[in-house]
Amino acid sequence: MLYLDAAATTPVRREALEAMWPYLTGDFGNPSSHHTVGESAAAALETARAQVARVLGCRPGEVTFTSGGTEADNQAVKGIALANPGPRHIVTSSIEHPAVEESCEYLVRHHGFRVTRVEVDGEGLVKLDALRQVLAVGATLCTIMYANNEVGTVQPVAGIAQIAKEYGVPFHTDAVQAAGWEPLNVKDLGVDALSLSGHKLGAPKGCGALYLRGRLHTEPLIHGGGQQRGLRSGTENVAGAVALATALRLAEEQRVQTVGSVAALRDRFIQSVLDGVDGAMLTGHRSSRLPSIASFCFPGTSGESVLLELERLGVVCSSGSACAAGSDEPSPVLTAMGIEPAIAQTAVRFSFTSAVTAAELEAAADAVVTAVATVRGLR
């Protein structure tokens, strides 16, 4: 089976598994316990925090461990908005992950905020002139994802952060898909808050992290024993934090080399699919895209049928985001990019880890050509 659905989740890296193992077994302590077993867990947690902080270029105290990307996004959007309501206006994009989109909707429903979703162009890039106009009105928070999970388009995050700063608006970015592929130094990016998730990077599901710039006020969403400076109560997932820190550190160490080689493989794969499938359309930006994602629409098919056919041929991938799986609605991300709903229904996303090989992607491209032809009734 060829797994080409890394944007949904990745297998746990051996190094991450080995690093977390002691904290599930011998050093299983609760980091809040005042004895040596607890102290050992607390030390591991703080080492993990420092490792994440090193990759992000921030202070360890600015990193909070969460249960994943969804919680990090919720904490950033709701936490910043509730602590600094100001004009009660959230500015976001029309292609955000539901973790951000639904957090904004919650603020509308329960706290009297309004939300402006800045449009994207046909390749998924946020329209910067429109963003400026919206921010000029005044906003509580601007939240725009770093890289899109369905089409892989990478936003000019440093430029967007600069614009938000000009208007004095705090800026959060969901870097869940960008992590491991794009630079994450929060000072260079100029972001005030940034979300990460472990399982897209080779750590287990259920662990994530949120960077919050030191002086930014935030309302905690989870109340309890006051762990993590009172920002995120609950006994910390020590093993998960250790695995996340390990996977993030390794991804960052290997990033520059990996990006070049995987992007070259991705481009060859894209070309083979476009050459082999009549009418195939690449979605997302041609160059400003994650090395790990190639997504297409195949007019004259349905994405779900192509997926089934590909699975029969030994390739697993996705018809859009895993979070929207099971829904018959065309992807809101693709329709926001101006793709007709009937064409958006034909979307298929291929996404890979840095371990992908040329031979795998050649086999995948052949399978795509066969699968689409079968679904179109040509074979």
Structure tokens at 289: 């895209």
Which residues lie near ligand PLP (CB under 6 A)? Answer: 68-70, 73, 97, 99, 145, 149, 174, 176-177, 197, 199, 208, 323
Cβ neighbours around 328 below 10 Å, total: 7
Nearer to ligand PLP by Cβ, of 62 and 174: the residue is: 174
Name residue, tokens 């699919």. 273
Question: From CA 32, how far away is CA 164, in angstroms rounded?
Answer: 38
Is 58 labeled as catalytic in the residue annotation?
A: no
SS3 66: strand
CA distances from 41 to 23, 29, 60, 236 (A): 7, 5, 16, 10
The SS3 call for residue 191 is coil
Residue 93 or 177: the one with the smaller Cβ distance to ligand PLP is 177
Strands 2-3, 315-316: parallel, antiparallel or unpaired by DSSP? Answer: parallel
The label of the residue with tokens 């992007």 reads 263
Q: Shortest approach of ligand PLP to residue 116 CB, angstroms?
A: 20
Nearer to ligand PLP, 146 or 296 (CB): 146
Query: What residue spans of 279-379 are helical by DSSP H?
Result: 303-312, 332-336, 341-344, 358-375
Position with the least CB separation from ligand PLP = 69
**How many other CB atoms are found less than 10 A from the CB of residue 275?**
11
Element (H, E) at 193: strand 193-197
Q: Please, which residue, 147 or 365, has the CB nearer to ligand PLP?
A: 147
Please identify, using beta-carbon distances, which residue of 69 and 332 lies nearer to ligand PLP. 69
Least Å from the CB of residue 9 to ligand PLP = 8
Strand 208-212, strand 281-283: pairing? unpaired
Nearer to ligand PLP, 29 or 204 (CB): 204
Smallest gap from Cβ 299 to ligand PLP, in A, equals 26
Q: Is residue 101 packed enough to be buried (19+ CB in 10 Å), middle (13-18) or exposed (0-12)?
A: buried
12 DSSP assignment: P
Whole-angstrom distance, CA of residue 162 vs CA of residue 101: 22
DSSP lists the bridge partners of residue 318 as 349
**C-beta of 200: minimal distance to ligand PLP in Å?**
7
Minimum CB separation from ligand PLP for residue 99, in Å?
A: 4
**Which member of 104, 207, 297, 323 is catalytic?**
323
- Residue 271 CB, shortest distance to ligand PLP, in Å, is 26
181, HSE (Cβ side, Cα atoms, 13 Å): 29
Residue type, 297: C
Nearer to ligand PLP by Cβ, of 99 and 369: the residue is: 99
CA distances from 339 to 126, 284, 333 (A): 16, 11, 9
- Report the alpha-carbon distance of residue 138 to residue 87 in Å, rounded: 7
Please report how close the Cβ of residue 277 comes to ligand PLP at its closest, in angstroms.
Answer: 26
Environment class of 377 (CB within 10 Å of its CB; exposed 0-12, middle 13-18, buried 19+): exposed
**Closest separation between CB of residue 240 and ligand PLP, Å?**
11
Q: Of 149 and 228, which has the nearer Cβ to ligand PLP?
A: 149
- Residues with a catalytic annotation lie at 323
